[in-house]
Each structure stands twice: as C-alpha cells, then as structure tokens.
Amino acid sequence: MAGNTTFLTRISGALLFLIGAVLLAGGGYLASLGGSFYYLAAGAAVLISGVLYWRGSRWGEHIYALMLAITLVWAVVESGANPWALAARLFAPAVLAIWLALPWVRRGLHDTGRSALWHSTAGLAAAVVLAVIVFRFVQHENTASVDAPPSPVAAAANPGTDTDWPHYANDLHGKHFAALSQINTQNVDRLEVAWVHNSGDSGKGEATPIKIGNTLYTCTPHGVVFALDPVTGKEKWRNDPRRDISQLTLATCRGVSFYRVPEGTGLCAERIIAGGPGGVLRAMDAASGKPCEDFGTRGEVDLLAGMGEVGPSDYTVNSAPTVVKDVIITGAFVNDNQNADIASGVVRAFDAKTGALRWAWDMGAPDRIGAPEEGETYTRGTANAWTAFAADEELGLVYVPTGNPSPDQYGVNRRPFDEKYGSAIVALNIADGRVRWSYQTTHHDLWDYDVPAQPTLITLPGPNGNRPALLQGTKRGDIFVLDRRTGAEIVPAPETPVPSGAMPGEALSKTQPISEINFLPPPLTEASMWGATPIDQMMCRIAFRQMRYEGPFTPPGLYRTLIYPGATGGIGWSGISVDDDNKIVIANTNDFPVFVQLVPRKDVSATEWVPFPALKTPYVVQIGLFMGPLGIPCLQPPWGQLAAVDLKTGKTMWRREIGTAKDSGPMGIGPGPPLLIGTPNLGGSLTTRGGLVFLSATLDRFIRAFDTSTGRILWQHRLPAGGQSTPMTYMAGGKQYVVMTAGGHALLGTRLGDATIAFRLPD
C-alpha cells in the first residue's frame, strides 16, 4: 500500500503532521493555562490524519473530515454568526480539505473509489464549511444591527441657507451639523469630485477646514496655513512658519480659527488663528496671510513662556484654538509617558487682537490668574487639555476636556489637584478662567482614558422645559450627558465596582462612572481571540491567558496587563456629531485592546531606546497593540463601528461595522479581501439636514455617506490617501460642497498624502 502512495499524498501527510504537531503542542500548553481543549484535540486528529496520509490510508481523509465537521459545530457554538470569527476557525482547515480532496492527492490513497470532489469526505466537509462562511458574509454586507425601532429622520422643511462653516465643528457647540440639504439621501449617489488641492506637506493630515465668506482655510501637520477658493480649490495664499521640524514626531493640525476685530479695518481686521510647531500661537491676515504685527511679537505668541524646560516634541497645539467673544482659549498636547516632570497642562486665554495673556487656569495654582513670577513656572506634570473645546457664550463658559497627569500608567505621586481634574470635563468662566464646575469621567486614571473629544452642547426637553445639555464621548465608549450649567448628570452614570490590585501606593478607585448611554464592548474572553488561521488564533489565546485581565479597568502593574478598550478605543479625538433637527447622536467607535506593563527601571539597559521612559518614576512603561504573529489583531472583528442614538429615548437606533479589509492584508501586506470587517478608524463624522452622515475615518481609504435613519451606505468614493479627518460642508456659488482632508496616518498604517478634496453634485 505504501509503495503506491503518490508524492503529493506524502507531502500532504507531512504537512498535516507538521500542522498537527504545532496544534498539539500549542493546544496542550493552552489547556495547561486553563484554555480551550479544542486545539489539543484537533492537533491530535490532524497529526494522526497526517500519519495515515503518509501511509496511504483512506482513514486519514475520513479522520480529517470528521475533525472539520466537529470544528464547524465548535466554531458556531463558540463564535455565533460573526462571519470573521467563523472564518478564522474554519477557512484555513476548509482550504486544506479542498487540497486533500483533489484527485491527484487522493490518488495515493488505497480504496478511494471515484475521485470526484463530491465523492470525497474531506471535500464534502469543506464544501459545507465554505458554504456556511460565504452565506454569513453575504448576509452580513451593508447591514446595520437595530437595537430599537428606527426613528424616521424628519424631512427638512427648510433646505438650509447656511453658507459658511466658521468653526472647527461649524459652531462653538461642537455639533458637526449643517442645516444644508441640497445633497440628500435621494441624490448623494451622484456626488463627484469638484477639486483637489495638494499642500506638498507630509505627515498625518487631520484638518477640518473652516469657510468664511469666499475663502476656505485649512492647515497641514507642520503648521502651514492655506487659503483656498471654495469653488475651485485654487490656492489664494499660504503662510509657512518655516520652523525646524526635524525633531517633531507627533505634529498635526486639526484646524484653524477665525476672529473679526470689532470695527476693525485694513490689515488683520479679519484674522486666522492657528497653533504651530514649537509651541506658538499665530495670527495672520485672513485676506493675505501676512502676519498680524499687532498680535504678540510679529504675529506670534510664545506658548512656552513660563513652562520651564520643554523638549522638542513635548508640547504642541494640535487642535483649533477656541475663539469666543474677544479671547483665544487654548491648551496643548503634552507628550505622554515621557517624564513626571514635564511641561504644564495649563489652559490660557489671550486677547484676540493683541495676544496679551488674559488669564491662565493652572490647576496647581488656582489663585493665580496671570503668568507665573520670574523664575517660576506653571505647575509641571498636570493634566493637559489637548483636544478642541466647546463654549456657551450665553452662560459665559468654556468646556475643557482634560487628559491625564504625567505619566499615564503610574499615579503614586499624583497630587490632590491631579486627582480632581485629571480625565475630567472642566467648565471655566470665559471672563477669568475660574472653575465653575468639573465632572470626572475616570477616577485615578491609569489607563490613558483622557477625555479625548470636543464636548457637544445641545438643548434637551426636560420636565421643567428645555435643559441645556453637554454630551461627552470617552475612549471607553461612554457618552456622558450633563447639565452644562452645573455639571449634574441628566442621564445617570452610576458608580460601578471595578477590579482592584494596583501597584503599591496607588490610590485606586473602587468604582468608576459608566453612563447609561454607552458603546462599551462586552468583556473579553478567550473565545474573542482571532487570527488568519487556527494556529495564530491559538497563539493569541495563549497570549491572552498569559496576561492579567479581569475586565474593564484592570489596573496595570509589573505583569503584562490587557487594557480593553485601549487608549485608542471608544470615541476618539473626533468626538460625535448630532443631527440637531432630530436629536440623533452619531458616534464612530473603536474596540481595540492594548497591553501595558511597568518594568523596573533597574531592569532596563541604559543603552536601550525606550519610547515611554516615564522619567522621575521607578518604572518605564511598555505599551503595545495586542497583535498576533501575522501582524493582525488578536481580537476578532469588528474593531470599528458607527452608531446612531435617539436622544429623545436614549435608545440605539442602529449600529453597524464600518470599513472593509481591502487595505488590511496579513503582515501589513495588502490588499485584503474587500469585505465588510469594521476597521479601526480615526476621524469624525459630519451630519447634515439632508439625512446624511459623512465619514472618511476608516482604514480602507473611502469616504462614505450613510443614511442617518438606517445606517445604510448610500455612496462611497476611494481616496488617494487615508481620510483620518472630519469632513465639513458649505454652500458656494449655489452649490453644496463636502470637503475633507486625505493625509493618511502613519501609526494607523494608511497611505500618506497631502490632499484636500471637495465633492459636489454635477451641474
């Protein structure tokens, strides 16, 4: 019998033996860690099948087919109807079964009978498995899960006459909503490119332009500001700060701001306000781009004044400054996990005409309104405010989302004001910067759960009339709903028990607030692990079992700890958008775990480069994405979703995956299959009166339009680079335009570019 075994049959037997041995060894180790016994059993079956194939026995085929059939049942029981979870468990074994069913492989098996594919037990099992996978993928495409009956979006009686987009989010309330409906659900599929402007700058382009009158204003990662014709995209002027950017590693610009001097005339009567590399605040003439000489020193204010020692990448303004009344209010991004003694997170207000300091909110010096005395600094290492702010001029308040005190994952040395104002929403008086109220979203934050996004201000009906509300998305996926006058909860966010067992000396909170409106993912289990094949999925399961994970808020320590959602999870810097007509919140979310470990400094080589040194503490911080050996996530998809919440009921209208695997091949080698997977995403949504949601944030380089009522994709356009930005819209020349930045994002792995792209309906 063995003498008649063909070469291909023996090669197949050797391959099965090798795969089986790996599964048997890994499965045994996984079982010893308390994990699933499936891989141990499957490994034994595949190994035995390999031996039988080598010997030319048809029982090898039958044992493999039986293993595949049992695997199908196990996969459905463990992963349900998620097509990507099924594919990870079934696709590679089914493809191998197809190979084993080929006539020239089966020819070496004795007593095989007819050699047609459908007369092979392995082939039959493979056909059933692949049919299940294909059926689930077909059923899955372009669907949105509905948790509550959809609320029909009210038809717009007024198509909208707004022509400008004067602030980062259109208004100071952070809604990212436009009362325009020339582009709507009935015609959006006809949208086409109107113009493209290339800046020539590199890096992660995340800007949302603003439009004032007949000019569009935008910026590049390294602080170059452009003025463009809104109809043609033709460049009117550019202002290049021409600074040394060689040591800048995290530079970006998410937008610029506009200020009109009351009764002003001539140069700089209207001005563009922008942050810039090197810690500066700049003012330039809106008509010409020339520096405003009466602002600061030759058009610039030095934001590093009073800061003390600041490294080249320690401090940068990456969000559009808030211009309200006659002041410019700004915080800045302070580099994470570099040093406990790092630049202050002070929030400052400057005179919009002269650049003079009006006030400073330094949480460590609450009684000091102005700059520190000569030889002193703003309190170092405090929580910074790196994202966009919202403002209510009527209440006289600016709403400041804060990050973490430095470093993020080690809080033994935090001070009382760090504990109070870290990872919080702080309402400051516009007039003097004093605190009106604060609300903390994460107590003693050790997970880098900065409040990442601009708050959104809306009006909600209440028992005693309309109630001014503030909505705040978080990296965990909460949407906190507060009374913006007082900070009181409108939607309850009960304090919920969380895991304990932090490092000695940590003042860990026993509870954390969790809003009743949230997109928190379910806790991870071993069954949540994923891979391209059963082997790398098994390796991810082993890694999961080796880490500490006790659910949300598992505190980091000396052993590798899994944080889920990670610091890039939930609702990111782009925040939410709101259909203001219908009180519908649109949120795009990420569900992605990271691992964190504190390593004693004495155990780290003095010559080793450490990205997160956490100087002035006993530890360095190790942080990484939870990825498998093939460079794909260990967590099964979806990783990115888009959802709509009806604020009138607090119920989710729909939730759907966003983004395909088109640009997400294993080991970073593309392309992948153009199937809906729910990719990681960075960037925000635009909502319009036309019943549309625009989003370009996904990994697969598409901008898409969704139906606000149902979540269905109505239009999409392939981009030249990653669209990790937030679209905006305006009217010009009688046409509605939708504009976005396609600049890519190196850390996300999307293609880099330098394009600002406008879309409109054809004539």
Least confident stretch, 577-591, 662-676, 717-731: 662-676
pLDDT at residue 132 in the model: 58
Q: DSSP state, 550?
A: -
CA distance 412 to 428: 28
Token digits of residue 418: 């760090």
Determine contact, residues 709/724, Cβ cutoff 8 Å: no
Please state the domain extents for the chain.
2-140
**Confidence class for position 3, pLDDT limits 50, 70, 90:** very low
Instruction: Report the mean per-residue pLDDT for the chain.
Output: 90
Q: Can you spell out the DSSP letters for 22-60?
A: HHHHHHHHHHHTT--SHHHHHHHHHHHHHHHHHHT-THH
pLDDT at residue 114 in the model: 47
pLDDT at residue 664 in the model: 73
pLDDT at residue 147 in the model: 52
**Confidence class for position 162, pLDDT limits 50, 70, 90:** low
Position with higher pLDDT, 204 vs 655: 655
Least confident stretch, 80-94, 293-307, 620-634: 80-94
Q: 3-state class of 136 per DSSP?
A: helix
**Confidence class for position 305, pLDDT limits 50, 70, 90:** very high
Token digits of residue 513: 């607030």
- Per-residue model confidence as pLDDT tens digits over 172-225: 999 999 999 999 999 999 999 999 999 998 777 899 999 999 999 999 988 999
Question: Quick check: 730 pLDDT over 80?
Answer: yes
- Per-residue model confidence as pLDDT tens digits over 117-146: 444 555 555 566 565 555 555 555 555 555
- Per-residue model confidence as pLDDT tens digits over 584-627: 999 999 999 999 999 999 888 876 778 888 889 999 999 999 99
**Confidence class for position 9, pLDDT limits 50, 70, 90:** confident
Tokens 């605190």 locate to: 435
pLDDT at residue 298 in the model: 94
- This prediction has a pTM of 0.93
Per DSSP (E only), the strands in 127-253 are 177-178, 192-198, 210-212, 215-219, 225-228, 235-239
Q: For a pLDDT cut of 90, what percent of the chain falls above it?
A: 72
For residue 614, give every residue at least 6 positions away whose Cβ sits within 8 Å of its Cβ, in sequence order, or none: 337, 338, 339, 340, 407, 409, 410, 620, 621
Question: Quick check: 716 pLDDT over 70?
Answer: yes
Per the annotation, the verdict on 201 as an active-site residue is: no
Tokens 């202050």 locate to: 344
Token digits of residue 281: 């605040």
CA distance 516 to 636: 25
Nearest Cα to 391, choosing from 693, 168, 578?
168
Q: What are phi and psi of 135, to 5 degrees?
A: -60, -45
pLDDT at residue 364 in the model: 97
Least confident stretch, 38-47, 60-69, 713-722: 60-69
pLDDT at residue 115 in the model: 44
- Per-residue model confidence as pLDDT tens digits over 544-586: 999 999 999 999 999 999 999 999 899 999 999 999 999 999 9
pLDDT at residue 158 in the model: 55
Tell me the mean pLDDT in the region 660-683. Answer: 80
Nearest Cα to 55, choosing from 106, 10, 113?
10
Q: 3-state class of 357 per DSSP?
A: strand
Token digits of residue 89: 């468990």
Determine contact, residues 220/174, Cβ cutoff 8 Å: no
Q: What are phi and psi of 642, to 5 degrees?
A: -125, 135
pLDDT at residue 116 in the model: 44
**Confidence class for position 38, pLDDT limits 50, 70, 90:** very high
- Per-residue model confidence as pLDDT tens digits over 342-389: 999 999 999 999 999 999 999 999 999 999 999 999 999 999 999 999
Determine contact, residues 509/498, Cβ cutoff 8 Å: yes
Q: Which of 314, 336, 408, 448 is catalytic?
A: 448
pLDDT at residue 225 in the model: 97
**Confidence class for position 759, pLDDT limits 50, 70, 90:** very high
pLDDT at residue 124 in the model: 59
**Confidence class for position 463, pLDDT limits 50, 70, 90:** confident
Residue type, 592: F
- Per-residue model confidence as pLDDT tens digits over 17-27: 999 999 999 99
pLDDT at residue 118 in the model: 40
**Confidence class for position 274, pLDDT limits 50, 70, 90:** very high
